[in-house]
Chains A and B, each alone.
Chain A
Amino acid sequence: MGQANANFLIQEEKVFSGALSCRGCGWSLLTRHLASLLGENTVYVVPACCFSIIAGPYPLNDLKANVVHTLFAAAPATATGIRAALDRQGKTDTNVVILAGDGGTFDIGFQALSGAASRGENLLYICNNNGAYMNTGIQSSTATPFGAATTTNPGTDFRKTWPKDLMGIIAAHNIPYTATVSLAYLNDFRDKIKKAMDIKGFRLLMIDGPCPPGHKTEPSESIEETRLAVESNLFPLFEVEKGKHKINHFPKNKVKVEECLKLQGRFKHLFKKENKAIVDKIQNMTDFNWKRLKLLEKMNVDLGY
């Protein structure tokens, strides 16, 4: 009983225990799986984000690999330099991986991201999208979901704009591979990491990051939250490979968005009578995005690059 077998996905830990992440944090779990696949022949580049803290204060290192903590706006650029240097040194098989939050990706690091993607740098970009600046204490970013309350969109001034469609934008850079991943679907997540590792060029994985203090959830419900986000189509799992869209998970019994929103205290105001229309609006937008995604998948265009 309780014997380890093939269901135990991580063969060897490539992270240390003791990380400074909150209970139920997505960062620790995602890096644990990511690192187990990438191995030690990897350089991680981390702009300012929660992971900057989680990865360890002086003189500690959470990952069994090189980690470069760089400036908030500069991760893809720093990674570009590291990639260039490694390539010159013949270490073309060394992974250079960016671990950034949504603020560092959608906002302040956006230019550097676009630059590196356009240059086709051989980098793997992991965006842990938890929908706000969590490291500084839950301020709105352009990834903050419609309807969410943050410390800069408090109370009735909750977020009333849609988050940036970064997946659409990054796909429009004609990169070879980009995909959404979720911790609730670990096999899909790990398969996509493996797939991304086998592709050369700029690759981006967007992960739905659970954040108990930021989303106002119970730490134990981190996985449930992200699972409901997928099952309600708030965060569909799909990939864009050489311009082709593919949906990786079709919810069997579609869950209403409110099931996912209800779990999170940052949306609790939406369940007041006067905000019913907001929930409907989110449902409509979610349905629209899902329809659009299905149409994109149907197009099935091979751009041949």
Chain B
Amino acid sequence: MIEIRGHARGGQGMVTAFEILAKIFAEIDDYQVQAFPAFGVERTGAPIQAFLRVSREKILNRSNIYFPNLVVVFDETLIAQVPVLNGLKKDGAILLNTNSKIEDIKLKTKNIYTIPATQISLDKGLGTKSLPIVNAAMIGAIIKILDIDINVVANIIADNVPTKPKENSESAILATKNILKSKNITDELKKYLNEDSLDENNLDKDIVFKSNNQILDFPSWNKPMSINKTGNWRVVTPKYEEKPPPCSTNCPAGTDVRLFVKQTSEGKFADAFSTIYKFNPFASTCGRVCPHFCQQSCNRIELDSGLNIGAIERFLGDKGITRKFSKSPISKTEKIAVIGSGPAGLTSALRLRQKGYEVIVFEALPYAGGMMRTGIPSFRLPLNILDKEIEAIEEQGVVIKLNNKVTIKELSNDYDIIISAVGSHKSNKMKIPGEEFATDGINFLREFKLENKNYDINIGDDIAIIGGGNTAVDIARTVLRLGAVPTIYYRRSKNEMPAIPHEVEEAINEGVNIKLLTTPISYNKNSNGKIVITLIDMILGEPDKSGRRRPIKIEDSEKIISVNKVFSAIGQTFDDYVFEGKKVKVEQGKIKFENNKPVFCCGDMAWGGTVTEAIGSGNFTTDEVVAFLKNQNYSSKDNPVNVVLPADINYNYYLPTPRHENPVVEMKSFINNFTEVVKGLTEKEVIEESKRCLHCGECYSCGNCYNYCPDAAIHIDELNRLRIDYDYCKGCGICFEECPCSAISLKMDEVVNESSVN
């Protein structure tokens, strides 16, 4: 007679497995069989036992199996929790469901079989992740150990499982091929099918039998239930784990958006400003002109509308910049030159200066700020705002030399490090006939704003602007304020316009015309001095490298218009004067230049994009330079994993609350009105808005995990922090599911001793 004892968790299907095995043996060779569970009241997940006897003779013993030939463990975590090997006979073996290598298994027996039954079952879709039903695979493994032909019994398995017969019999077959055994294993258990096992007198009965001799007068249930540690039911483990939110992850400047929003909600404006300033010295500017990738990826969009982070940043920037900044001491010997005083140049200059390096910024123009000053009209970004931010940088010790158009060669002897942040101020050409009749858009913006040149634009003039970026929109809105009638011509559709969407909307509201899917193919000047533009219609084809759909010309769709002026705004490149006209190629923010000494590059010339992206590149270059000076290799941070997505948020715990929109100034006439169009929010509104934050990936003490734990397994410790008590946590996963902001993770098969929110 062979005696097999199984250990599993309630719900894994062990009792059914043993019944099926009994049927198999009775059917294939008319064995006498006996299969039964240890009748208990434990629930799903609790450790349970079952027994199987197979014999040639009539089985007379009807009691539990205390001295098994084979112990079968359906869940390897039970080994640490239940004395599975109790009473195992000397030549007995254990069969363990595990993915581990046999060498790594620490057990008091050397006769070990392993089977990756959970893997097999999950692959076959049997059961759930938290409770895979592994019984078919375990049957297969036992059948293999006892040397029975699986093909003979596969149909018996299929006939006797409650669901999915095919998957179950396939699992069993797969199991026979995946079973592994320890070295020097006896592997002769099959013989006990036909002969008697050891004499029981040789067995150590003390291990398994204990008796209760206490005579009880009155039933008295007065011991705490906590004697019973239900932690051993757990197969998935919840753990407090902070995860990156989409806002911070998507900020090109690397700002901890979640943190400054939280600080704002608590009224800690100075702290919030510092949080931003650590990575971004242009909070006021960015609060106004950044497209706010943070906002675009905000998980709140799924609920009602994304957080108005821009307004919060703008408020903090305007408030914070008025404070006094102190000069950092120079503690390092190396001198650093930065060419260009745009957002990238000034960010890297400031950050390096704060680290104790002497930094000189060389600016070719008579004013600092780069494209922030030259390219963005004052109705979007008032000059005084930018001035204050640049002054703050100077206050901290950065020296800016204006009207200093330099080349790298000129500086290379005097400076240890040269950073080129010259920006992209040279307009691209369309390379079409008559291009000389078009006006350079980016020059116009600069000269109009800073040198009061109005380019002879008169009220009522028809103005065409070619392009779809912010420059095109800004030109249109500027000429609108000069009384002209602007029309933007863009070759793709609105979705592809690189301009910030709300800026486009504001432009349309103000009266700017936009003609989409059309592009000029030639310019000419007619006798009236007007510019004649030949346009051709476009259609969108397959996506190109940028991911946007490629515009394709529609043949014979030309039409001709005439306008007073046409502005070209189809993008810019950098001025190579700094390299003395030499063609250079920027690779990963660096240019190898003479003597193999690298020139570090940041901003538009190296990366392209928005103000915030330029700031981000300034931060990147700073870190790179510091590493270089320390003779270290700088490696940028890996892309964050586990960024919280809408699917991770439990929206039931957030009430829909309307977004606080920035007010737009109502203007009777735009003519010659260059006051700021969009206003900021009040302090009260900013606090309310910041309270709309979902706190993605970060515990905000909502109490759900604690309140919903059925097992009272979450405690508040002496430091008022939350702790999961793994002695009792059954791993139901309710805390994970009900955590609104995904600050709890659920880990499979991980033995954790302690976890807390710190």
Kindly supply a per-residue 1/0 record for chain B positions 659-702, scoring 1 wherever the CB is within 8 Å of any chain A CB and 0 otherwise.
00000000000000000000000000000000000000011111
For the complex, what is the distance from the CA of A85 to the CA of B195, rounded to whole Å?
65
Taking CB atoms and an 8 Å cut-off, the chain B residues in 173-226 that contact chain A are 219-226
A253 to B, closest residue via Cβ: B656
Contact between B738 and A16 (Cβ–Cβ < 8 Å)? no
- Taking a contact as CB atoms closer than 8 A, the residue among B240, B699, B721, B734 that contacts A223 in the complex is B734
- Taking a contact as CB atoms closer than 8 A, the residue among A5, A10, A13, A61 that contacts B222 in the complex is A61
Contact between A220 and B736 (Cβ–Cβ < 8 Å)? yes
- Taking a contact as CB atoms closer than 8 A, the residue among A15, A23, A27, A218 that contacts B45 in the complex is A23
Given A24-B710, A29-B708, A224-B737: A61 and B227 within 8 A (CB)? no
On chain B, the residues within 8 Å of A29 by CB distance are: 708-710
For the complex, what is the distance from the CA of A179 to the CA of B66, rounded to whole Å?
52
Contact between B699 and A1 (Cβ–Cβ < 8 Å)? yes
B473 within 8 A of A: no
For the complex, what is the distance from the CA of A32 to the CA of B712, rounded to whole Å?
7
For the complex, what is the distance from the CA of A223 to the CA of B708, rounded to whole Å?
8
For the complex, what is the distance from the CA of A64 to the CA of B240, rounded to whole Å?
29
Closest CB in chain B relative to A38 CB, distance in Å: 15
Contact between A58 and B221 (Cβ–Cβ < 8 Å)? yes
A89 within 8 A of B: no
On chain A, the residues within 8 Å of B220 by CB distance are: 59
Closest CB in chain A relative to B43 CB, distance in Å: 4
On chain A, the residues within 8 Å of B756 by CB distance are: 2
Taking CB atoms and an 8 Å cut-off, the chain A residues in 155-177 that contact chain B are none
Taking CB atoms and an 8 Å cut-off, the chain B residues in 690-741 that contact chain A are 698-703, 706-713, 716, 720-722, 725, 727-728, 730-734, 736-738
For the complex, what is the distance from the CA of A1 to the CA of B697, rounded to whole Å?
12
- Pick from A67, A184, A220 the residue with the most CB of B within 10 Å: A220
A102 within 8 A of B: no
- Taking a contact as CB atoms closer than 8 A, the residue among B702, B703, B727 that contacts A17 in the complex is B727
- Taking a contact as CB atoms closer than 8 A, the residue among A7, A55, A62, A212 that contacts B701 in the complex is A7
On chain A, the residues within 8 Å of B130 by CB distance are: 23, 218-220
B251 within 8 A of A: no
Contact between B707 and A2 (Cβ–Cβ < 8 Å)? no
Contact between A20 and B733 (Cβ–Cβ < 8 Å)? no
Closest CB in chain B relative to A79 CB, distance in Å: 18
A94 within 8 A of B: no
On chain A, the residues within 8 Å of B711 by CB distance are: 17-19, 21, 28
Contact between A8 and B43 (Cβ–Cβ < 8 Å)? no
Closest CB in chain A relative to B111 CB, distance in Å: 33
B155 within 8 A of A: no
Contact between B221 and A61 (Cβ–Cβ < 8 Å)? yes
Given A20-B228, A22-B44: A15 and B712 within 8 A (CB)? yes
B706 to A, closest residue via Cβ: A8
B483 within 8 A of A: no
Kindly supply a per-residue 1/0 record for chain B positions 393-409, scoring 1 wherever the CB is within 8 Å of any chain A CB and 0 otherwise.
00000000000000000
For the complex, what is the distance from the CA of A219 to the CA of B735, rounded to whole Å?
11
Contact between A23 and B225 (Cβ–Cβ < 8 Å)? no
Contact between B720 and A3 (Cβ–Cβ < 8 Å)? yes
For the complex, what is the distance from the CA of A123 to the CA of B282, rounded to whole Å?
66
How many residues on the A side are at the interface (Cβ–Cβ under 8 A)?
50
B41 to A, closest residue via Cβ: A53
- Pick from B228, B709, B746 the residue with the most CB of A within 10 Å: B228
For the complex, what is the distance from the CA of A111 to the CA of B442, rounded to whole Å?
88
For the complex, what is the distance from the CA of A262 to the CA of B358, rounded to whole Å?
66
A57 within 8 A of B: yes
Kindly supply a per-residue 1/0 record for chain A positions 39-58, scoring 1 wherever the CB is within 8 Å of any chain B CB and 0 otherwise.
00000000000000101111
Contact between A24 and B734 (Cβ–Cβ < 8 Å)? yes
B757 within 8 A of A: yes
Kindly supply a per-residue 1/0 record for chain B positions 29-63, scoring 1 wherever the CB is within 8 Å of any chain A CB and 0 otherwise.
00000000000011111100000000000000000
B11 within 8 A of A: yes
- Taking a contact as CB atoms closer than 8 A, the residue among B43, B221, B699 that contacts A20 in the complex is B43
On chain B, the residues within 8 Å of A25 by CB distance are: 43, 710
Contact count band on B? 35 or more
Closest CB in chain A relative to B212 CB, distance in Å: 11
B758 within 8 A of A: yes
A301 within 8 A of B: no
For the complex, what is the distance from the CA of A224 to the CA of B704, rounded to whole Å?
13
Given A20-B46, A22-B44: A220 and B732 within 8 A (CB)? yes
On chain B, the residues within 8 Å of A115 by CB distance are: none
For the complex, what is the distance from the CA of A174 to the CA of B225, rounded to whole Å?
38
Given A8-B716, A223-B734: A2 and B710 within 8 A (CB)? no
Contact between A18 and B701 (Cβ–Cβ < 8 Å)? no
Contact between A2 and B699 (Cβ–Cβ < 8 Å)? yes
On chain A, the residues within 8 Å of B758 by CB distance are: 1-2
On chain B, the residues within 8 Å of A213 by CB distance are: 11, 43-44
A9 within 8 A of B: yes
B128 within 8 A of A: yes
On chain B, the residues within 8 Å of A223 by CB distance are: 708, 734, 737-738
Contact between A222 and B703 (Cβ–Cβ < 8 Å)? no
- Taking a contact as CB atoms closer than 8 A, the residue among B11, B222, B731 that contacts A59 in the complex is B222
Kindly supply a per-residue 1/0 record for chain A positions 195-231, scoring 1 wherever the CB is within 8 Å of any chain B CB and 0 otherwise.
0000000000000000011000011111110010000
For the complex, what is the distance from the CA of A221 to the CA of B129, rounded to whole Å?
14
Closest CB in chain B relative to A94 CB, distance in Å: 18
A303 within 8 A of B: no
Given A1-B758, A60-B228: A23 and B701 within 8 A (CB)? no
Given A60-B223, A227-B652: A5 and B703 within 8 A (CB)? yes
On chain B, the residues within 8 Å of A186 by CB distance are: 707-708
B229 within 8 A of A: yes
Contact between B233 and A23 (Cβ–Cβ < 8 Å)? yes
Closest CB in chain A relative to B729 CB, distance in Å: 9
A5 to B, closest residue via Cβ: B701
Beyond contacts A2-B722, A60-B224, A212-B44: 20 other A-B pairs, Cβ-Cβ < 8 A, are: A2-B699, A4-B701, A8-B706, A13-B712, A17-B230, A20-B42, A21-B710, A22-B45, A23-B130, A24-B732, A28-B710, A28-B711, A59-B221, A61-B222, A61-B224, A61-B225, A219-B130, A221-B737, A222-B732, A224-B737
Interface residues of A (CB under 8 A from B): 1-5, 7-10, 13, 15-29, 32-33, 53, 55-62, 67, 183-184, 186, 212-213, 218-224, 227
Interface residues of B (CB under 8 A from A): 11, 41-46, 128, 130, 219-230, 233, 240, 652, 698-703, 706-713, 716, 720-722, 725, 727-728, 730-734, 736-738, 743, 746, 756-758
The 10 listed contacts between A and B (C-beta, < 8 Å) are A17-B711, A18-B229, A23-B730, A56-B228, A60-B223, A60-B228, A61-B221, A219-B734, A220-B737, A223-B738
Which are the 4 A-B pairs with shortest beta-carbon distances? Answer: A2-B757, A220-B733, A7-B703, A17-B728
